[in-house]
Amino acid sequence: MAEQGTLILDKAGVRRALTRIAHEIIERNKGVKNVALVGIRSGGDDLAKLLARQIAAIENIEVPLGTIDITMYRDDLDSRGGKPIGKTEIPFSLDDMKIVLVDDVLFTGRTIRAAMDALMDLGRPRAIQLSVLIDRGHRELPIRPDFVGRNLPTAINEKIDVVFDGERNPLEVRLIKS
Amino acid sequence: MAFNHKHILGTEYLSREDIQLILDTAESFREINTRSIKKVPTLRGKTIINAFFENSTRTRLSFEIAGKRLSADTVNISGSTSSVTKGETLEDTARNIEAMHPDIIVIRHGHSGAPHYLAERLHCSVINAGDGAHEHPSQALLDMLTMRQHKGEIDGLKVAIVGDIAHSRVVRSNLYALNKMGADVHLAGPGTMMPSGIERLGATVHYDIRAAIKDADVVMMLRIQLERQGLTLLPTLREYARFFGLNDDVLKLAKADAIVMHPGPMNRGVEISSAVADGPQNVILGQVENGVAVRMALLYLVSGGEQAVE
C-alpha cells in the first residue's frame, strides 16, 4: 500500500464516485437493457464488479459482466518489453450489446484503443461507452470518457495510484509526484 | 518475473520458473484459439521464418498457425526445396536468411546442435523445433501443459516414457523439464534403444514396460521411427508390440485415471493398440491443441513479452 503522495479519493470518495457513475450509466442508457460491463485488467475489472453491484442495488438487475486483457493488443511490445498477460473472460455475446468499458485511470488513451480492438475481435457491440475512475489527461488519441469519477489534471511525470485491499476492493486514490 | 531468453534452444537451458512462465502464458493464449476470430495483433510486423530442413507436418503447421494467430508474417522453407540440396552450407543458408531481416527463425534440423550454431551467428531469435536426437523443447512444453491441465500439478507425478529412448529428442527435452518441475520419470524400452548412462539425466530405467507403467499418472508412448533406425534395432515389429506396446491389459497397471500421451504420428498396432489410441484415457489430440498455444507463448516471450507470476 502506498504511503506517500497526495490523497485524492478515500474509500468513501471512491464509493460515492462509483455510485454516481452507476446512476449515470442507467440514466444515459435509459435503464440497463442490453447493457454489459467489461472491465480492463487489471484494476478496471475490480471496479466493473463494484459498478455491477451498484447497478444491481439501484435497478435490481444483474448486468452481464466480463473482463478483458489487452496485453496482446498493445502497440509497444518492443519498447516496453511486454506486459503481463491475463485471461480475457467474456461469458456473453457482445453482439448488439451496449458495452461500458471500465478502467481505473485514463491517461494516453492507448489502453482504451487496445481494449476497443480486443472487443471488436470478440463480437460486434452496438455501442461502446467508457467509464473511468480518474481522468488524468495527456491523451495521445482522440478518446473521451463518457463517465468520470474525478477529473484530475496531472503533470506528465506524476503517477496515479489506485490502491486496492486484499479482496480487491478499492481503498483510495493517491497522486504520486516523482 | 521476466523472461530473459533470446533463444529457445532446449529445456536444458530453462529454469523451473521459465517453464512455469511459459506454461502460464500458453494458458492465456489457449483462449484465443477458441474464439471465432482467432487472431490478435501482438506480433504485427514481425517476420518469422520456419526453416524445416527435416520433414515435419504437425510441428511446422503448429508453429505457422501460432505465428499467424499472433499476426506475424510467417514464411516456410523446407529442406527439399532449399538450396541445401544444392550443396549450400547451413552457415551460408543462415546468412542469406538473415539478410532478409527476420525477427525469429524456427529451425528443425537433422543434426543435433544446428539451432545452437545458428543462435551464435545470427542476430535474430532462434527457436529449436527439433534437432537430431538432441532436443525438441516445444514438444516437451506442450506435453507438460497437457499434464498440468489433467493433473493440476506436475510436481510429484509419476511419468512413464516408453519406446526408443536413444533416438528420441522428445525424451531428452521431457527429462530435463520434468525433473525441474519435480516429476518422477521412469523410462522403458528394449536394451538396444536405451542409451547407457541416461539415468544421470534423472530417470529410473526399466527394460519391462510393466515395471515402468505401474502406478503411473502419465504414460507417454514414443514412436518407433520406422524410417530411421527403428527396424535395425528390433527383431520384428510384432515382437516389439508384444513386449513394449501399450494395450488395455498393460494400461491397467497404471493408475485408473492415468493419461496416455504420444508425440505423434502413431504407429497403431506397434507402440500403441488402436483400443488405447482411441480410448478414454488418451489426450493425444489435446497435446496437438496445446501445441499451438505453447508455440504462441514461445514466440511472444522471445519477442520481449513477459508474464507476471501472480
Nearest to B40 among A73, A78, A84 (CB): A73
- Please give the model's pTM, rounded to 2 decimal places: 0.86
- Does A134 score more than 60 pLDDT? yes
pLDDT at B229: 60
Active-site residue flag, B134: no
For the question of residue B214 being annotated catalytic, the response is no
B220 bridge partner residues: B161, B261
Cell of B223: 514412436
Phi, psi of A171 (to 5 degrees): -100, -45
Measured in residues, chain A has a length of 178
Q: Do A72 and B70 touch (CB under 8 A)?
A: yes
How close is the nearest chain A Cα to the Cα of B45, in Å? 11
Residues of A within 8 A of B124 (CB-CB) are: none
Residues with Cβ within 8 Å of residue A153, at least 6 apart in sequence: A136, A137
Q: Do B303 and A86 touch (CB under 8 A)?
A: no
State whether residue B31 sits within 8 Å of chain A by CB.
Answer: yes
d(CA B88, CA B94): 10
Quick one: pLDDT at residue B12? 96
Tell me if A87 and B32 make a contact (CB, 8 A cut-off).
no
How confident is the model at residue B224, as a pLDDT? 87
Active site residue B146: no
Q: Quick one: pLDDT band at residue A56, thresholds 50, 70, 90?
A: very high
SS3 B10: coil
Q: Write the secondary structure of A30-98 as one string of H (helix), E (strand) and C (coil).
A: CCCCCEEEEEECCCHHHHHHHHHHHHHHHHCCCCCEEEECCHHHCCCHHHHCCCCCCCCECCCCCCCCE
pLDDT mean values, one per 10 residues, chain B (310 residues): 87 95 91 86 93 91 96 88 73 86 94 93 94 96 97 96 93 97 96 92 96 97 77 83 94 97 92 95 94 96 62
- Backbone φ and ψ for B8, nearest 5 degrees, come out as -115, 95
Calculate how close chain A gets to B7, using CA atoms only, in Å. Answer: 15
Give the residue from chain A lying closest to B25, CA to CA: A85
The reply to whether B1 touches chain A by the CB within 8 Å rule is no
Q: Clarify whether B158 is annotated catalytic.
A: no
DSSP B282: B
What integer pLDDT is reported at residue B113 of this predicted model?
94
The C-alpha cell that represents B113 in the structure block: 546442435
The number of helix segments (H) and strand segments (E) in chain B equals: 11, 9
In the residue annotation, B136 being an active-site residue is answered as yes
Binding-site residues on chain A for chain B (CB distance < 8 A): 69, 71-74, 77-78, 81-89, 117-118, 121-122
Distances (CA, A) of A136 to A46, A104, A139, B38: 19, 10, 9, 34
What ipTM was assigned to the predicted interfaces of this complex?
A: 0.72
Which pLDDT does position A36 carry in this prediction? 97
- Mean pLDDT on A131-143: 96
Q: Within the 65-94 window of chain B, which residues sit less than 8 Å (CB to CB) from chain A?
A: 70
Quick one: pLDDT at residue A22?
Answer: 97
CA–CA min distance B137, chain A (Å): 22
Q: Lowest mean pLDDT: which of A52-66, A111-125, B218-232? A: B218-232
Work out how many CB contacts closer than 8 A connect A with B: 56
Question: For the segment A147-163, what is each residue's pLDDT rounded down to a tens digit?
Answer: 999 999 999 999 999 99
